[in-house]
Structure 1
Amino acid sequence: MATIVMEQIGRLFINLQQVQGVPRMLKEAAPSLPGTLKDSDMPHFFREHYIHGGYRPLHHGWRYYFLSLFQRHNETINVWTHLLSALVVLMKSAQLAETVDFVRDVHAWPLLVLLLSAFAYMACSTLAHLLSAKSELSHYAFFFLDYVGVALYQYGSALVHFYYAIEESWHSCFHGLFMPLAAFLSWLSCLGCCYGKYQSHSSTYWVRKACQVVPSALAYTWDISPVVHRVITCFSCSRDPALPFHCGQVAFFLSCAFFFTHQLPQKWFPGRCDFLGQGHQIFHVLLALCTLSQIEASHLDYLGRRAVYRHLHGDSAAPFFCALFVLTGVASALTAVLITSKVRRLLGRRDKSK
């Protein structure tokens, strides 16, 4: 017995030695990363208000920016918040796939669109914050990609709200208009965000924010209207398990909208939120919580309101709405590509004039 115990202790000691050697092996396997820079060492375009340090140097190879996932810089938390959130959405999707037939049940397709669009915006945001520091053109291109993901998510949100959460009285007023207008507003949001970013050199901060926030606010107001109508009309329905999650997603979204439009708390503590505590990081976390609440609410509606949405939409509406989702994605992607080409020409003319 003592011999067995000693053998187990010996194996544990060897395993601990191996674990302790992991940091050294990683350091030897990966090249040493360049140190971060202060804002005074960066071109004005890359500087963020009230963020004084933690900037990654420009014009290194792509490998450096991918490896900077494990480096401490002023975008690290922004990258990891949406990277981890995307993994959570994947895990939630796998969990739902065990009980929901996403292939043969057309009424499950809107829920699938929401899951795909949620993963898309989180993945695009992760890439934007991770890789946009390579160059000015990369900064534009990857954030344009981020806005395409946002447009897809806005449409996915509108679809599950219209398909699962809507009450018959609201549906009767807007059933022929709701989803086409939701698709248009999603594309308009992408266009406004891309154009606002394109005007970074010639417009003030609040003008750029207006280009991004106003179309997105219009889209959200339209997309969330079925949920708001249902909460108002069914607030006393204590047996509706989805209502708390719908209220939660609205509260989380309004909170994250505040942090997106205000440079807080870094404005109160300039230079002290370079790594942790930026308002955009809080925005990421709140938006992820909003998305997870929305997924849970939509799943509960899918389970508990089948008679309602089958009566309202029949069996032919879901394929059309999914086709509209693809069209929205294509239109948004083309918009991003076209404005990226405008940026490329603008930067080319500027470089020639130097």
Structure 2
Amino acid sequence: MPRVSFAPPSLCLSILPLLDRLLPSLPPTVRDVDVPPLFRERFILSGYRPVGLSWRCYVLSLFQIHNETLNVWSHLLAAVCVLMRFMAFAGPEGQGFSVDVSSLPLVLYVFSAVTYLSCSAVAHLLQSHSEQAHYSLFFLDYVGVAVYQYGCALALCLYSSDTAWTQSMLGQIFFPVAALLAWFSCTTCCYAKLRFRRPYPLHRKLCQVVPMGVAYLLDISPVAHRLATRSWTNNLALPLHFLQVVLFLLSAFFFSCPVPERFSPGRYDIVGHGHQLFHIVLSLCTLAQQEALFQDFLWRRPALVREFGEERLLLVCASFPCLTLCCAFTALTMRRKGQPQLMKEQR
């Protein structure tokens, strides 16, 4: 009788070590006392990933349950939804959509939305690698936020404003002030991140919230004027704009206040803490704003070049990459400035 061998095939013997190298088992999450103070969040007691693992481990932690999982997936899925919705709109729904001078601001808006969502997801996914990575990635996150602020400003001014607001004093100075505030909010966020150590004082949060709040008030001013002066009847965009404002205010609340974890530390470590709610609500806010801008684009596009002029539109769109480069340069400068201090602290 022939002997049956149960030895694994040589092919399996060669593949298994390869899979083990490519897909290493991830270490379990740890408690707040097991990570440096920089990586701890108030009232979040567990679910932290150990610091100092390989980059591959943090990439694979996308599929692990930890206290950043929802932060990553909420913005990652939102970025995919924004891109897919834009591709669907660019089809028959867009009524002959093509990339030209009148549609370029909408394209820049979509690019800015995908940029800020992606930068945020990457920052929260990889920031636990090291203290230097933590600072660098969140500086990248702040650049993404500033880019999105200015992308919103361009689209809302060009598509969502009416003639009375455009011809007002605010409408005349809107673009340079919006660019300045976007850069300033990026700068103050980077400065606050670099300057203050835990336990964070109140003015650290103010350095982040106040400039972004002022920028938002300016950016939303053309929409606020329409909401206050126009009838919402038979206008699909205005209810969506109002929903976006409500969602933004709600997201600002969760960003500023550690609720609900403040009232039950440790209970909302994995699901339900304030920063996760901030991410989820802000994602919904972005999707609502995108839908409103699609409606405004169809309404405003036929007369856009006539009202603003082709040269002015091209100039405004050219300011977008300039603002992006300024913010990136500022973040890089802050990172270089903070490296000696960080190395000194690590000794």
TM-score by length of 1: 0.88
What is the letter of the counterpart of residue 287 of structure 2? Answer: L
The answer (yes or no) to whether the contact 2:91–2:97 under 8 Å persists in 1 is: no
**Which blocks of at least 5 consecutive residues in structure 1 are unaligned?**
1-24
Q: What SS does the aligned partner of 1:132 have?
A: helix
The answer (yes or no) to whether the contact 2:90–2:98 under 8 Å persists in 1 is: no
What is the letter of the counterpart of residue 205 of structure 2? Answer: K
Aligned to 2:3: none
**Aligned-pair Cα RMSD in Å:** 1.8
The answer (yes or no) to whether the contact 1:58–1:134 under 8 Å persists in 2 is: yes
67-76 or 93-102, which deviates more: 93-102
The answer (yes or no) to whether the contact 1:137–1:343 under 8 Å persists in 2 is: no
Distance 1:237 1:204 in 2: 44
Q: 1:313 Cα deviation (Å)?
A: 1.0
The answer (yes or no) to whether the contact 1:82–1:122 under 8 Å persists in 2 is: yes
Distance 1:194 1:164 in 2: 31
Aligned to 2:81: 88
Distance 1:137 1:104 in 2: 40
Aligned to 1:300: 295
Q: 1:44 Cα deviation (Å)?
A: 1.5
Among 198, 205, 230, the alignment partner of 2:226 is 230
The percent of aligned pairs where both chains have the same amino acid is: 46
Alignment of 1:191-230 (within 5 A): 191-201=187-197, 204-230=200-226
Q: What SS does the aligned partner of 2:212 have?
A: helix
Aligned residues: 327
What is the letter of the counterpart of residue 207 of structure 1? Answer: H
Aligned to 1:312: 307
Among 329, 333, 344, the alignment partner of 2:339 is 344
* Structure 1 residues 237 and 273: CA distance shift in structure 2, 3 A: closer
Distance 2:151 2:291 in 1: 14
Q: What SS does the aligned partner of 1:54 have?
A: coil
Among 148, 161, 173, the alignment partner of 1:153 is 148
Aligned to 2:90: 97
172-181 or 216-225, which deviates more: 172-181
Distance 1:150 1:89 in 2: 16
TM-score by length of 2: 0.90
The answer (yes or no) to whether the contact 1:50–1:266 under 8 Å persists in 2 is: yes
Distance 1:306 1:79 in 2: 35
What is the letter of the counterpart of residue 67 of structure 2? Answer: N
State whether structure 2 residue 182 is matched by structure 1 residue 186: yes
* Structure 1 residues 46 and 251: CA distance shift in structure 2, 3 A: same
The answer (yes or no) to whether the contact 2:305–2:313 under 8 Å persists in 1 is: no
Among 18, 25, 32, the alignment partner of 1:39 is 32
Aligned to 2:65: 72
Aligned to 2:164: 169
